[in-house]
């Protein structure tokens, strides 16, 4: 479905790619991965669609947040983004309005994922991406020239290399800008005219060719990291053209659990490993992260904080690492010690500082955590009938594994 | 009545609805039997509640729809009696509702309750009331129209606590914040809110403190999964939003009969699947209670059920218990505990209500805006609780006016109001089968909000402009459409404003969500009128009137008291100090209250308007502030665990704040009694400070007998304790010093009361301290008592400085000695001398670590001590540079250099020195003798050692009396055997080797140990 549009519009006529599968692409963009779902939703969508969107806002919401039994669809629509529904609604609505969307959040909160989903759902193409770095120039945002062609035949539309954003404008699709605040303020400001005038002028060309207008349906989804927001502060003019949507770190245990499981399953599917994470292990992981977050929140100085943001993505990373390790080098089943080692390995970034922080946490909180677990055990026993008797040995193994991993750092 | 209804009896319309629902269940659900049964039961619930002869009026707390229907219902036809859910004994506090600015809360308070766990007290219950609630409308109506009686029928406040689980945490604690492991629904809610801001509750959020909150018509689902499904399917964020959109809005404009049925239906749904089993059981208990009370009341007052109205939460309206209804089964009401309850009215605030019942922030103000809108749309005038005077004046006219107005009101709200008892079910069916209608779009209002929020944002430092106004309007419309609403709700508007305006979060700046709440009405703080206040609070208002500040203001008022210029302000100042002591919303900015201080000018921050609640609560404890204060002080002094220091503090406070000789005497005598029973000197420092202050204060006024009594008791008591305190490690030197200070500084007074010094002399003689600081303290005490001369003390300290073994502990001696400064400034000269010597003589590794400790020791002694020390130092050191060459210490001039270790000092220092075995031992143990013999048998090692050191190897004969020089088990070769111990140090000092060995005994000790081990 994505290809249908892209073939006529592209100037560099690429041979039509073979139907995407997970065999040919390591990671498929959202529109290909969920092509069937998108096609289905488009077929049942009866609401008016703004601009040239593929789906109506309500369907996009359903696509992102999943459908329940009450929505009466013929096929299951999985939930793809876990978070506050109103946040997603606000994001969708912003895209339909005149302003760009800026997603802000800590690393690993799912900003880019949400951006990709939204782009896939609105325009069926989420690949018009500019990655913001310290080295991003205005050329990356607007256009550049194919020097050889310019020498051979002069400046023309043919010898021009449009940026992903310009391509998105030409096609009326979503342009994405990752890590907006990483690039310099002057470069950022190139977006101002794109967002307000919705066209790019090319002074080198004359006549009709000198302006590239955005087709209806074009908008910008940018992401910014709240940790290094200070690196390059957005100018007021640019701020005014973006609506800011802040994505919080998921602190709700239940939905965090869902996210971790969902994402880990997906990652493991690549290796054709079926994931079987014992619920107790998942609890231990989540509880440890929750304790770490609490400990981090209680510290006063930056020195006593881990460099990691302790986001959900980190948890997924830890779990993935542990699963892979136990699958390839272990006895298939996930062992608490392995989990602890992965956790320590993932979280230690700066060697003397992070090790000492984790060391303190491990020894101060591990004992306490056991108490917490015991309390929790009582609670859970009331709600679920699962036997919790074996919990404490697992936790012990976990604590021991962590200590061992910590001691291996010099 | 309560059993499953015969289908034939069912209302035909309801019957039709039921058939339709059953068909739907069969069509959609996999297991239609269960769903069908549930739906059928729900319809039966509705039918039962509708058929009840007592008119059941279902409500939800702070619901404008309920309030509007109540208003219209009462305007149409007055019932004879209104039974209302709400603690029956709170009836007592209803009278206080006149003169109040709402929201206020009815309060029940029990300062002490022996029947309940100790950590629950004081028991405190609040029932907040807002103007736009059905209960308020009903109460207001009944207060205005004596023809209708209002009766609270729910379990009494006492039962509220009786039915609480006993083992749990104190009630009310979990009311505010949801604990992490707690209720899932609550956790959900806070998670949703968490994105906004945690502490947005404003500054009045904590108004209810730790009170247990009650509300009429509580309809919060407590079953987490149910709530999840509900919210997810309705695409709303929290329950309140769902309620507003699907129940509140549609029922606002429908007729009374439909309103009732819809509420019954929703109540039935919640009751059957929305709440946890625990809550359901508790609800049943309460319903039994209520119906029993209703029947009792109807029987006692001969009221026809048809003339009564029962206002309760929709959940209770559809109760399936057998006791339900005017003909329900009988039930005995459980007895109350003997707890004594006080009733009153306290101010409340929207933020406090939201916090108490964990509603999302801004919820109550949104409800208020809906109420205002509803009133306008229906052109109704709400009932208001007004001051009695006015009500009396207008009493008749209102009735007449009402009579005139009734037909018009009835015509407005159609015939449905006329037939409240026999409504047909068609309303409900229609309501459920047509697509949800919403409150009419109000574009103008939305526009106004958009403009206002941008203006407000600009005022608070946001970079907002007209472009944002347009964007907000656009976004809120889009959001509403996305959420299936034809018109943006306040929630959509809030979201849109946040999306468009909020860019960065600047700490200290109000965020946009909060601004929206302010815009939608904001927080409102209630106020209890003067006339409704308890006598104590009225008294406070009267007496503070002289200050000329607005006591009703909810902001901080600054009062300036020029007491010197206007002596009539002094009583007000006294009162302010008392209020401050009791913690009732006043704060001194300038001014102090200490013993003997005559106030000249004071300035105060007065926040009584905001902290009215605490003042009212004080009102439950007594009639005047003074009475409450006296009670508190007495309680403090006379409680079982009280200590002398505490009682003395209470006595001092009574002098400061009450100036009542009688009370002070009582408290003082209690302090004396407690002191007598005290075993240790733990509180001695505090007692000493207080007694010193009090004695000083009374010296000019004449000593009352109790302080004399206290001092003489203290003198005897501490003198008795001294010997133990000196030896007991549990008594710190500071405490010991305080005891000595008490004794020495209050000695004169104590003698006048018949104490005798001989007691002290004996006690000091008994003291056998072992710790260096205490030894020094004893020296100082002995010096004061004339048992030890200045020279002796000097010699003691000189000895410490000269003995290398004792040098490291010198600072400890000094610390103890300095503590003595507190009771005798005379030693300051000595202290300066010793400090100077110490600084000169102590090696760095002792001196440097000591210096910070010295500062720590000196600081608590206070500025007075430091002054004397500095003065002494000034006398001791030269004042001009030119005098320095010729200058010597005054003590060096006057006193000849003290002979190094005097025999007495030696014996004193022995215990410390013994440990090192460096001191000469007169008698040799058999082991030592063996070693000495061995050494003489094998002289090679020591000869070599001596050769290395360049000393001729000569061996002293091994005679029992002659080993003095060989005390350290190594032979001192050059030693001519001296038998006298006294002569020994001199001879030792002569040889360089001996001096070296004395300075470094460790080498020889190690050698000795090694040899011993070999032997």
Rounded to the nearest 5 percent, the helix, strand and coil shares of chain B are 60, 5, 35
Of residues A100 and B390, more confidently modeled: A100
Contact B46/B318 with Cβ under 8 angstroms? yes
| B959: pLDDT strictly greater than 60 | no
Which range of A284-293, A393-402, B977-986 scores highest in mean pLDDT? It is A284-293
pLDDT at residue number A366: 57
pLDDT in tens, B488-505: 888 888 889 988 888 877
pLDDT at residue number B528: 79
Question: Using CB atoms within 10 A of its CB, is residue B697 exposed (0-12), middle (13-18) or buried (19+)?
Answer: middle
pLDDT at residue number B165: 76
Alpha-carbon gap: A396 to the closest alpha carbon of chain B (Å): 23
Nearest to B19 by CA among B40, B47, B44: B40
Tell me if B195 and A246 make a contact (CB, 8 A cut-off).
yes
Tell me if B482 and A236 make a contact (CB, 8 A cut-off).
no
Contact B302/B81 with Cβ under 8 angstroms? no
CA distance B808 to B845: 9
pLDDT in tens, B824-880: 877 888 888 888 888 887 788 878 888 887 887 777 766 777 788 888 888 888 878
Tell me if A240 and B463 make a contact (CB, 8 A cut-off).
yes
What count of CB pairs under 8 Å joins A to B?
Answer: 78
Of the listed ranges B173-182, B481-490, B523-532, the least confidently predicted one is B173-182
pLDDT in tens, B612-631: 878 888 888 888 888 888 88
Residues of chain B with Cβ-Cβ distance to A99 below 8 Å are: 471, 500
Of residues A15 and B138, more confidently modeled: B138
Which residues between 296 and 325 in chain A have a beta carbon less than 8 angstroms from any beta carbon of chain B? Answer: none
pLDDT in tens, B401-418: 333 333 333 333 333 333
For the four alpha carbons of B656, B657, B663 and B667, in that order, the dihedral sign comes to negative
Q: For A2-247, CATH number?
A: 3.40.50.300
Nearest to B87 by CA among B157, B149, B137: B157
CA distance B365 to A57: 30
Mean pLDDT of B205-220: 72
Nearest to A57 among B237, B465, B482 (CB): B482
3-state SS track over A156-220: CCCCEEECHHHHHHHHCCEEEEECHHHCCHHHHCHHHHHHHCCEEECCCCCHHHHEEECCCCCEE
Alpha-carbon gap: A90 to the closest alpha carbon of chain B (Å): 7
Alpha-carbon gap: B184 to the closest alpha carbon of chain A (Å): 10
Which CA distances in Å does B678 have to B643, B721, B841? 8, 10, 43
pLDDT at residue number A15: 46
pLDDT confidence band for B422 (50 / 70 / 90): very low
| B898: pLDDT strictly greater than 60 | no
Residue A73, chain B, CB below 8 Å: the answer is no
Residues of chain B with Cβ-Cβ distance to A242 below 8 Å are: 503
What single-letter DSSP state applies at residue B422? Answer: T
Question: Using CB atoms within 10 A of its CB, is residue B70 exposed (0-12), middle (13-18) or buried (19+)?
Answer: buried
How many angstroms from the chain centroid is the CA of residue B809?
45
Contact B481/A48 with Cβ under 8 angstroms? no
Continuous H helices in B154-234: 157-162, 173-176, 184-194, 224-234
Alpha-carbon gap: B973 to the closest alpha carbon of chain A (Å): 57
pLDDT in tens, B772-812: 888 888 888 888 888 888 888 888 888 888 887 887 788 88
Which residues, in sequence order, are bridge partners of residue B101?
Answer: B527
Continuous H helices in B145-276: 157-162, 173-176, 184-194, 224-234, 239-243, 249-252, 256-269
Of residues A22 and B53, more confidently modeled: B53
CA distance B961 to B676: 56
pLDDT confidence band for A129 (50 / 70 / 90): very high
Residues of chain A with Cβ-Cβ distance to B465 below 8 Å are: 240
Structure tokens at A58: 């309500």
pLDDT in tens, B538-573: 888 888 888 888 887 778 888 888 888 888 888 888
Residue A70, chain B, CB below 8 Å: the answer is yes
Enumerate the domain spans of chain A.
Answer: 2-247, 253-407
CA distance B499 to A98: 13
Tell me if B495 and A98 make a contact (CB, 8 A cut-off).
no
Alpha-carbon gap: B432 to the closest alpha carbon of chain A (Å): 17
Choose the mutation target among A97, A230, A233 for the interface with B, i.e. most B CBs under 10 Å.
Answer: A97
Tell me if A99 and B471 make a contact (CB, 8 A cut-off).
yes
Tallying the residues shown for chain B, one arrives at 1015
Of residues B588 and B190, more confidently modeled: B588
Alpha-carbon gap: B479 to the closest alpha carbon of chain A (Å): 6
| A145: pLDDT strictly greater than 90 | yes
Choose the mutation target among B503, B505, B507, B511 for the interface with A, i.e. most A CBs under 10 Å.
Answer: B503
Nearest to B499 among A68, A90, A240 (CB): A90
Residues of chain B with Cβ-Cβ distance to A375 below 8 Å are: 181
pLDDT at residue number A164: 93
pLDDT confidence band for B361 (50 / 70 / 90): confident
Which CA distances in Å does B393 have to A345, B52, B100, B143? 81, 38, 19, 14
Please report the DSSP string for A369-380 in residue order: HHHHHHHHHHHH
Interface of B with A (CB under 8 A): 181, 184, 187-188, 191-192, 194-195, 229, 232-233, 235, 237, 463, 465, 467, 471, 474-475, 478-479, 481-484, 495-496, 498-500, 502-505
Chain A, nearest residue to B467 by Cα: A240
Angle of helix B426-433 relative to helix B12-28, nearest 10 degrees? 30
Contact B113/B457 with Cβ under 8 angstroms? no
Contacts of B838 (CB under 8 A, 6+ apart): B801, B810, B811, B814, B847
**Complex confidence, ipTM:** 0.79
Residue A57, chain B, CB below 8 Å: the answer is yes
Contact B87/B93 with Cβ under 8 angstroms? no
H-helix or E-strand containing B987?
Answer: helix B984-990
Nearest to B798 by CA among B916, B892, B919: B892
Mean pLDDT of B219-225: 79
Tell me if B233 and A240 make a contact (CB, 8 A cut-off).
no
The torsion angles phi and psi of A45, rounded to 5 degrees, stand at -75, 120
């Amino acid at each position: 479905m994505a290809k249908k549009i892209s073939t006529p519009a592209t100037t560099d006529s690429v041979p039509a790619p073979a139907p995407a599968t997970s065999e040919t692409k390591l990671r498929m963009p959202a529109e290909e991965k969920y092509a069937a779902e998108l096609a289905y939703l488009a077929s049942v969508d009866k609401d008016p669609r703004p601009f040239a969107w593929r789906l109506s806002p309500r369907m996009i919401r359903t696509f992102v947040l999943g459908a329940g039994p009450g929505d009466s669809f013929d096929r299951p629509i999985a939930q793809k983004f876990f978070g506050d529904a109103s946040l997603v609604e606000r994001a969708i609505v912003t895209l339909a309005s005149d302003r760009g969307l800026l997603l802000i959040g800590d690393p690993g909160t799912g900003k880019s994922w949400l951006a990709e989903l939204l782009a896939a759902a609105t325009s069926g193409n989420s690949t018009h991406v500019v990655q913001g770095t310290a080295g991003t120039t205005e050329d990356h945002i607007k256009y550049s020239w194919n020097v050889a062609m310019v020498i051979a035949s002069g400046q023309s539309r043919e010898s021009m290399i449009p940026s992903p954003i310009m391509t998105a404008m030409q096609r009326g699709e979503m342009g994405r800008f990752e890590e907006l605040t990483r690039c310099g303020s002057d470069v950022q400001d190139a977006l101002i005219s794109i967002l307000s005038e919705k066209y790019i002028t090319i002074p080198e060309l004359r006549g009709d060719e000198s302006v590239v207008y955005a087709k209806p349906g074009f908008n910008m989804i940018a992401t910014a990291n709240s940790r290094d927001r200070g690196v390059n502060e957005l100018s007021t003019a640019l701020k005014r053209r973006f609506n800011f949507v802040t994505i919080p770190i998921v602190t709700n245990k239940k939905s965090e659990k869902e996210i971790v499981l969902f994402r880990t399953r997906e990652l493991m599917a690549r290796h054709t490993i079926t994931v079987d994470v014992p619920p107790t292990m998942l609890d231990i992981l989540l509880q440890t992260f929750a304790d770490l977050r609490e400990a981090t929140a209680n510290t006063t100085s930056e020195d006593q904080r881990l460099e990691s943001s302790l986001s959900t993505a980190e948890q997924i990373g830890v779990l993935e690492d542990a699963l892979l390790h136990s699958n390839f080098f272990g006895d298939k089943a996930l062992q608490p010690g392995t989990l602890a080692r992965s956790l320590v390995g993932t979280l230690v970034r700066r060697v003397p500082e992070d090790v000492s922080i984790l060391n303190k946490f491990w020894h101060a909180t591990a004992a306490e955590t056991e108490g917490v677990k015991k309390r929790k055990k009582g609670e859970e026993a009331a709600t679920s009938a699962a036997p919790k008797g074996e919990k404490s040995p697992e936790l012990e193994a976990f604590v021991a594994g962590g200590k061992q991993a910590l001691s291996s750092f010099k | 009545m309560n059993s499953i209804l015969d289908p034939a009896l069912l209302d035909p319309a309801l019957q039709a609805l039921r058939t339709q629902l059953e068909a739907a269940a069969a069509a959609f659900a996999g297991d239609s039997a269960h769903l069908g049964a549930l739906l059928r039961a729900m319809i039966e619930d509705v039918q039962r509640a509708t058929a009840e002869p007592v008119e059941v009026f279902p409500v939800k707390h702070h619901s404008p729809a309920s309030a509007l229907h109540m208003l219209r219902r009462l305007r149409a036809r007055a019932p004879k009696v209104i039974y209302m859910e709400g603690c029956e004994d709170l009836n007592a506090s209803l009278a206080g509702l006149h003169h109040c600015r709402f929201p206020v809360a009815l309060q029940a308070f029990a300062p002490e309750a022996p029947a309940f766990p100790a950590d629950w007290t004081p028991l405190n219950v609040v029932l907040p009331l807002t103007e736009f609630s059905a209960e308020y409308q009903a109460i207001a109506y009944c207060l205005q129209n004596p023809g209708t009686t209002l009766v609270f029928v729910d379990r009494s406040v006492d039962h509220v606590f009786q039915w609480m689980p006993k083992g749990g945490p104190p009630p009310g604690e979990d009311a505010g914040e949801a604990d992490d492991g707690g209720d899932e629904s609550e956790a959900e809610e806070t998670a949703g809110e968490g994105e906004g801001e945690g502490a947005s509750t404003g500054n009045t959020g904590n108004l209810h403190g730790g009170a247990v909150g009650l509300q009429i018509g509580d309809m919060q689902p407590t079953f987490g999964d149910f709530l999840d499904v509900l919210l997810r399917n309705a695409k709303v964020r929290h329950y309140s939003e769902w309620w507003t959109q699907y129940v509140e809005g549609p029922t606002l404009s429908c007729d009374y009969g439909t309103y009732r049925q819809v509420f019954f239906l929703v109540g039935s749904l919640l009751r059957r699947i929305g709440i946890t089993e625990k809550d359901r059981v508790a609800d049943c208990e309460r319903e039994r209670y209520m119906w029993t009370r209703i029947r009792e009341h109807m029987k006692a007052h001969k009221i026809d059920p048809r003339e009564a109205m029962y206002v309760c939460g929709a959940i209770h309206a559809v109760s399936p218990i057998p006791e339900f209804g005017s003909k329900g089964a009988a039930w005995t009401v459980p007895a109350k505990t003997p707890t004594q309850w006080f009733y009153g009215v306290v101010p409340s605030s929207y933020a406090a209500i939201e916090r108490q019942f964990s509603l999302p922030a801004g919820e109550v103000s949104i409800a208020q805006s809906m109420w205002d809108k509803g009133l306008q749309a229906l052109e109704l005038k709400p009932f208001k609780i007004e001051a009695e005077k006015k009500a009396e004046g207008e009493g008749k006219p209102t009735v007449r006016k009402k009579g005139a107005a009734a037909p018009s009101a009835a015509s407005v709200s159609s015939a449905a109001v006329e037939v409240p008892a026999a409504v047909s079910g068609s309303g409900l069916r229609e309501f459920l089968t047509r697509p949800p209608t919403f409150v009419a779009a109000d574009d103008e209002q939305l526009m106004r909000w958009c403009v206002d929020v941008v203006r407000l944002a600009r005022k608070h430092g946001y970079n907002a402009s007209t472009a944002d106004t347009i964007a907000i309007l656009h976004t809120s419309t889009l959001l509403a459409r996305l959420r299936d609403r034809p018109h943006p709700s306040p929630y959509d508007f809030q979201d849109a404003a946040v999306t468009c305006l909020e860019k960065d979060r600047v700490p200290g700046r109000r965020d946009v969500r909060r601004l929206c709440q302010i815009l939608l009405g904001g927080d409102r703080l209630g106020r209890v009128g003067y006339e409704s206040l308890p006598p104590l609070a009225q008294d406070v208002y009267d007496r503070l009137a002289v200050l000329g500040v607005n006591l009703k203001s909810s902001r901080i008022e600054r009062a300036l008291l020029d007491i010197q210029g206007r002596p009539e302000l002094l009583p007000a100042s006294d009162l302010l100090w008392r209020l401050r002591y009791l913690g009732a919303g006043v704060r001194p900015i300038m001014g102090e209250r200490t013993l003997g201080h005559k106030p000249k000018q004071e300035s105060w921050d007065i926040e009584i308007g905001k902290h009215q609640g605490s003042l009212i609560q004080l009102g439950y404890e007594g009639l005047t502030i003074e009475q409450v204060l006296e009670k508190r002080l007495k309680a403090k002094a006379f409680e079982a665990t009280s200590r002398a220091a505490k009682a003395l503090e209470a006595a001092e406070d009574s002098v400061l704040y009450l100036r009542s000789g009688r009370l002070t005497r009582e408290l003082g005598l209690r302090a004396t009694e407690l002191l007598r029973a005290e075993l240790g000197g733990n509180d001695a420092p505090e007692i000493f400070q207080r007694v010193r202050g009090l004695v000083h204060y009374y010296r000019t006024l004449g000593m009352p007998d109790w302080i004399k009594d206290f001092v003489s008791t203290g003198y005897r008591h501490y003198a008795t304790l001294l010997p133990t305190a000196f030896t007991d490690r549990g008594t710190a030197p500071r405490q010991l010093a305080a005891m000595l200070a008490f004794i020495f500084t209050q000695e004169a007074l104590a003698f006048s009361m018949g104490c005798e010094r001989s007691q002290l002399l004996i006690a000091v003689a008994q003291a056998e301290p072992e710790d260096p600081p205490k030894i020094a303290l004893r020296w100082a005490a002995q010096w004061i008592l004339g048992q030890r001369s200045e020279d002796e003390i000097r010699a003691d300290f000189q000895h410490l400085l000269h003995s290398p073994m004792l040098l490291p502990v010198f600072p400890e001696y000094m610390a103890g000695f300095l503590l003595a400064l507190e009771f005798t400034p005379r030693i300051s000269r000595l202290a300066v001398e010793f400090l100077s010597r110490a600084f000169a003589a102590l090696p760095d590794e002792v001196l440097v670590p000591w210096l910070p400790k010295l500062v720590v020791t000196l600081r608590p002694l206070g500025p007075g001590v430091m002054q004397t020390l500095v003065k002494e130092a000034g006398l001791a050191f030269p004042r001009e540079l030119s005098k320095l060459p010729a200058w010597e210490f005054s003590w060096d001039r006057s006193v000849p250099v003290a002979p190094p270790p005097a025999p007495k000092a030696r014996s004193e220092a022995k215990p410390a020195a013994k440990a090192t075995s460096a001191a000469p031992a007169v008698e040799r143990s058999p082991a030592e003798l063996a070693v000495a013999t061995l050494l003489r048998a094998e002289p090679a090692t020591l000869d070599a050692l001596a050769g290395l050191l360049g000393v001729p190897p000569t061996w002293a004969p091994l005679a029992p009396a002659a080993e003095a020089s060989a005390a350290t088990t190594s032979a001192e070769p050059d030693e001519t055997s001296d038998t006298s111990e006294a002569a020994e140090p001199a001879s030792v000092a002569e040889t360089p080797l001996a001096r070296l060995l004395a300075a470094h005994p460790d080498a020889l000790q190690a050698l000795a140990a090694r040899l011993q081990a070999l032997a």
